[in-house]
Structure formats: structure tokens, C-alpha cells
Amino acid sequence: MSLSLQPGGSATRAPPTSALSAPGNAVTTRPITTGTSVLGIKYRDGVMLAADTLCSYGSLAKYKNARRLLPVNSRTLIGGSGEYSDLQAIDDLLRRNALEDRCTADSLYEEENDGEDCAKEVWSYLRAVMYNRRSKMNPLWNDIVVAGFRQNDDGSTSEEPFLGIVDKIGTAYEDDILATGFGGYLALPLMREKYRPDMEEGEARALLEDSLRILFYRDCRALNKVQIAKVTRDGGVLVSDPYELDTYWDFKGFVTNKGEMGTDGGW
């Protein structure tokens, strides 16, 4: 070990170089700052996603303006639950890929390029990324919902909407309605009961808002400040600003005593 002089004239032994340059633990062993459910539904004109804007630091409701519905390009949208920093890493990865595609395209003008990845291509790519990371024991701790439209063979946007999910170990599937987190237990049964393939946009939005409201009542990691996003064939991707849902707390089950113990109505 080499000697190093400290202020005041004292001499101490410096730690070996290998100890200074050794990397820290770069593996996500457990999520720290997390978002909860993301809901997705197909309707007559496209696909719609919904999520609240809360990120919890453990059990602390710390960040109340975390946006988890992210546009990828003009015809693809993702929503993520789980570790928020990993979701940001996925967003950065998809943006780098989009920039690389644009830089290597035949034209610099967007209207002359058909090189944007469609929703199914983004979904397939994320499935490979998630499986690769879990195989290295360093998963991205997220469940990602991908919404958008498929692509025709000539590069044009198909009439068929797409809705798929990829989890942190690379499991992936498609469906007409999807939910992550507690939404898979609380919201998905309600959505299945009321879903119709020919739903209008207003009906789909009302169903998602009702489901988010139920999650706010029953999931202690949820918030009534939410975002709605949609992808349509003609209008592209549109993500709303956060807004608050109206809530009602005077249901009989919320205010009556439990077990006739004279309590305040809590569980």
C-alpha cells in the first residue's frame, strides 16, 4: 500500500487503487420509487391508456406529478408501472433508437419518412430488452403497456389498433383490455364486465376513469390525480395534462362501524 500525506503532516496509508475504482452495486435488487397501475383499452377509433401521477417512496406518497404515460412516436404510446427510474431509462432507450432511425433515414424530412416503429415493433423490442436484462439478473423493474397501431407492408399505418404488455421478466401478450399492478385484481374485472369492442371514445374514457376511481379508493399507492392518453389513426398520440377525479366518500361501507366495535369506520 502507498503512503499519502494528510494536512498537518500526518502520514496514512491510502487504500489500494482497486478499491477506489471498484464499481458499486448496479443491479436493481428491489424497486424504491414506484408507480402503481396502468390501464389500457381498445375502442372504436383507437387505443386509450390511463394512469395516476403518484410515485411512492416505499410507503410514502412522495412524488405527486410523475407522468407515466409517454409518447414514443406519432403512432405509439407506452405506460409503465414499477420503478420510475427504470421507466425513465426505457424512455431514453426508445428515444435514442428513434433518433438513430431518423439520422440514418433516406430523408431528413419527417413527412417523407415511413421509418417510425409501429406499436407492435416497439412491443417486440421491449420484450427482448426485458428478457435480456432478467437473464443477466439485472431486470428493469417495470410492467410496460404498449398502445398504438400496427403497420402495413407498405409502411402505412394499419386500421388495426394494438395493445400489448411486457413485464420485467420478458413475459408478453396482447389483449383488448389490460391492467398492471393492483389494476389487474381490482380494475380488470370491472373493465371486462363493461367492455365492448365498438365503444365510443367517451365511453372508454368514462370506464377508465371509473376504474381509476375504484383504485384510488382501494389501493393505498394510488392517487386521484390522473392522466388519460389516446392513439388514433388520424390524430396520432395525445396525452392529457394531469387532472383530478371527483371522489365520493359517503358510501355506507366507508362510514359504518366494522364488527360493531365502536371504531371510526376504518379497517
Annotated catalytic residues are 28
C-alpha cell of residue 184 = 389487474
Helix extents (H) in the chain? 17-21, 84-103, 119-135, 183-186, 188-194, 201-218, 252-255
Are the beta carbons of 211 and 191 closer than 8 angstroms? yes
Percentages helix, strand, coil for the chain (3-state, rounded to 5) are 30, 30, 40
Nearest residue to 147 (alpha-carbon basis) of 223, 226, 50, 240: 50
C-alpha span between 105 and 99 (Å, rounded): 10
Q: 8: exposed, middle or buried (C-beta count within 10 Å: 0-12, 13-18, 19+)?
A: exposed
C-alpha span between 149 and 47 (Å, rounded): 8
Cross-strand partners of 123: none
C-alpha cell of residue 98 = 428513434
Cβ-based neighbour number of residue 109 at 10 Å: 8
Nearest residue to 207 (alpha-carbon basis) of 41, 37, 38: 41
Helices 84-103 & 119-135, crossing angle to 10 degrees? 120
